[in-house]
Structure 1
Amino acid sequence: MNTRSRYASHRVYLVPVDLAELTGPVTGVVELPTHLDWSEQHVYDLTDESQLGLMYERVIREAVHPDDLRAHLNGAVLIRIWPRLYLPVQARQAWEARFRDLVRAA
């Protein structure tokens, strides 16, 4: 087992209580804070589906506080793009265990 998969399997992923909490932007350009994205590409154009998906993946993987999820994710958008997100198995399972809408979307 490589180091990355060990990390993913032991990491605790934040999951909101309700998708309605996720009221982040649906349009425009978003710059993620360094604690969520320390890469060179930390600015995302939400009109570009590939950038949108990448931003959601990073936020779900790296969120350390529920406010990270609330500020950057949108519940309706999340349901729409959920099937296309590349996430650690543990993160996907945690979210789908709480939200049946995501299971149906997948």
Structure 2
Amino acid sequence: MPNAFELRCAQYGERLPARLEDLVGPAHGTVGLPLHVVWSGRRSYGLEQPRSRMGRYRTVLVEGQRQDLIGFLNRDLLFATWPVLRTLISRPVRVVGEAAFPELNSARAAAAA
């Protein structure tokens, strides 16, 4: 029987797009998130401000469904922010994301160098 961590990993893995290139969300401007992703608190995020962008990406990665990830995340911004963002998300999201997209590990390694 799978444990809670394995169950969360499996659930998150089902939400991931096939490729990072599928993440075609905006790279600039202010973006609002729908209620099914953010049901309370802040719903609008500016992508030009690093702290705001991190909050938005964290929320979408943790709460969003596959179409939310595809439509609200931008591949280049995810890649650029991953070294810090990975420390702000839950372990299952981080583990599954890095296993599915090994290029995220190279972003982390490049930031550490």
Same fold (TM over 0.5): yes
Name the stretch that deviates more: 10-19 or 49-58: 10-19
Structure 1-normalised TM-score?
A: 0.86
Q: Distance in 1 between matches of 2:48 and 2:76?
A: 15
Quick check: 1:25 aligned with 2:26?
yes
The structure carrying a bigger helix percent of its residues is: 2
| Cα distance in structure 2, aligned partners of 1:16 and 1:89 | 19
1:69 corresponding residue in structure 2? 69
Identical residues among aligned pairs (%): 33
Q: Which amino acid aligns with 1:75?
A: R
User: What letter matches 2:47 in structure 1?
Assistant: L
Q: How many Å apart are 1:39 and its aligned residue?
A: 2.4
Q: Which residue of 2 aligns with 1:44?
A: 45
Where in structure 1 do 4 or more consecutive aligned residues deviate above 6 Å?
A: none
| TM-score, L = length of structure 2 | 0.81
- The one-letter code sitting in structure 2 at the alignment partner of 1:33 is P
Pairing partner for 2:102 from 88, 100, 103: 100
The alignment of Structure 1 onto Structure 2 pairs a total of residues equal to 99
Unaligned runs of 5+ in 1: 1-5
The CA RMSD measured in Å over matched residues stands at: 1.5
Structure 1 position 81, deviation (Å): 0.1
Alignment gaps of 5+ in structure 2: 109-113
Q: Distance in 1 between matches of 2:61 and 2:96?
A: 11
Show the counterpart of 2:91.
89
Letter of the 1:35 counterpart = H
Q: 1:32 & 1:56 partners in 2: Cα distance?
A: 11
> What is residue 3 of structure 1 aligned with on the other side?
none
Comparing 10-19 and 73-82, the one that deviates more: 10-19
**Cα distance between partner residues in 1 of 2:34 and 2:46:** 15
